[in-house]
Amino acid sequence: MSADLLTLTPDAARNALGEWLTQRGEPAYRLRQVLPRLWQRPVARWADATDLPAPLRSALDDAFPLQRLTLRTHQVSSDGTEKFLWALADGEAIESVLIPEGKRRTLCISSQAGCALGCVFCATGRMGFRRNLSAGEIAAQVRELILRDPALKPTNIVFMGMGEPLLNWDAVDATLTILNQPAGLGIGARHITVSTVGILPSLAKFAQRGEQFRLAVSLHAPAVALRKELMPIEKKYPLPDLMKALQQFRRRVTLEYVLIGGKNDSLETADQLARLAQPLEALVNLLPLHPGGAPDLTPSSRAQMLAFARRLKQHGVEAVLRRSRGLDISAACGQLRVEVEARARGRDKVGAEQHAHIE
């Protein structure tokens, strides 16, 4: 019976490997040779672990085959942003985005294939929910980059790709351990951010973890009626309940806010947002609407975004106006997968029409 070590936390993988190696009568030092090949010095396949004897490599392949993601599409922006569309073993597809900035390399990773939440400004939401990812599939987005080039190893991880991480908490919980532990990928907790719309039961579990992982909350509206219009999840976890939960969170919170022209970018709305941010001493991340994510919505003008940020600062709220990355590629969340699927449907339609014409 084969098992996927890459879905396990480093401690669980160490136990499984140790037991198997002992049963084979291997010397104790073999565990110290094998375990780093999962995450610290990953190999694409056991055959590549040439410091191990060939019979052991073959046995490892049978007992613990290394699951891979298949790269379907890779786009590189003129600003250095790279987008990856990965195919999973069952044919589903997920995205990750690598954003270089000086010495920092931030990888935005997916936690679900598709998303059930239907936020109006998000291409992934329009796709609908397909399935949760395993911890191995989530962490593999980092592992695959290291396999491509160890110099690409991210310095920072943000769970801001496809899906709602806190709706897949068990897998995300294990992934956080894999990403953070020295025997795993060894990325500092303060360099790992989980972004959520505010799934309160899982948020409470996340808050119980002792490491200093960062929390970003997709807010996008400071009032219940407007948030309900933009984000259907508001009906289940209302804004007042979310803000109460955030006040009990021991670490500094970032509020994510996509500026949409004529919807949520007025100065009065900035005043409302400031009233929410002040008690939390939250950082507000202001994000231009990526036009690829929601073709029927209008990005705020540059002047309006600057005025909005200025108004928050006048209230003593720390606000950062981000710039859109990857505007010349399909960098909006879910956009690349939607476009690839649309092209495939177009090819199928053309093929069917040609077939019908021939008949």
Active site residues: 95, 333
Q: How far is CA 81 from CA 38, 96, 165, 326, in A?
A: 27, 11, 23, 6
* Residue 60 token pair: 């490892």
Q: Where are the alpha helices (DSSP H) in the chain?
A: 10-23, 29-34, 54-63, 123-127, 135-148, 169-180, 200-208, 224-230, 239-247, 267-280, 302-314, 335-358
Backbone φ/ψ region at 102: left (φ over 0), alpha (ψ -120 to 50), beta: left
Angle at 100 between CA 95 and CA 101, to 5 degrees: 140
Alpha-carbon dihedral angle through residues 10, 14, 17, 23, given to the nearest 10 degrees = -160
* Residue 275 token pair: 């009233």
Q: Is 180 exposed, middle or buried (0-12, 13-18, 19+ CB in 10 A)?
A: buried
* Residue 325 token pair: 């990355």
d(CA 198, CA 221): 13
Q: In degrees rounded to 5, what are phi and psi of residue 254?
A: -105, 135
Q: To 10 degrees, what angle do helices 135-148 and 169-180 make?
A: 40
Pairing of strands 93-101, 82-87: antiparallel
Biggest alpha carbon–alpha carbon distance for the chain: 71
d(CA 53, CA 317): 59
Among all chains, which residue has been given the structure tokens 């500026």? 259
d(CA 281, CA 283): 7
